[in-house]
Structure 1
Amino acid sequence: MGAILVLLAAFFVEIALVTYRGVTISGTGPIPHLVIPSDYAGAAIIYGLLGLMGKTRAEPVAAAVAWGFVVATLLNLWTPKNPVHIGKTTKQKAVAA
């Protein structure tokens, strides 16, 4: 039961971060200063899948992964508008054929 509460706490913190960013950053969606519902749906799906790991020995792993997502969101390690491309530079020259 303890790990499920940890997952629930991580989910609420994630939702709070998503809401804060949606309200403070203008132009993130079709209506300025409103959060896109798919942001909430994505968080609900991810944390729901982590919640399915309950009642097993994987509970601590699921809790650590959940808080890892929260830290990644807080540090802005990945954003949908500017995805991270591993192994590629952002400004590559086009190669002429």
Structure 2
Amino acid sequence: MDVELRASDDDRNRVVAELHRHTAAGRLTLDEFSDRAGAVWTARTLGDLAALTRDLPVLPDPAKDGDDSVGHGRRELLMLFAAAALTLLLLGVFLAVTR
């Protein structure tokens, strides 16, 4: 990697996603994540971006590992929405019957 090459928005998004995964793993505090994510958007070169993750271990690529944490999170959100909708429906039925 030529550290003097200019960074693209895709490069910056990749680094922010990596920082997020390290935060979720407990390697970074929310304040550290916030500071580093802010620095990502001011980074001009690939070297600047690499400096922000230099002290963190390399993570496996979730797309290659079959990591389904995003899909799992969406399923949990869908189940929560379904439970809330069912609760509202039952509450509506209860109110209609008791009036």
**Shorter-normalised TM range:** 0.3 to 0.5
Say which one has the larger Rg.
2
TM-score, normalising length: structure 1: 0.38
Which structure features the higher share of helix residues? 2
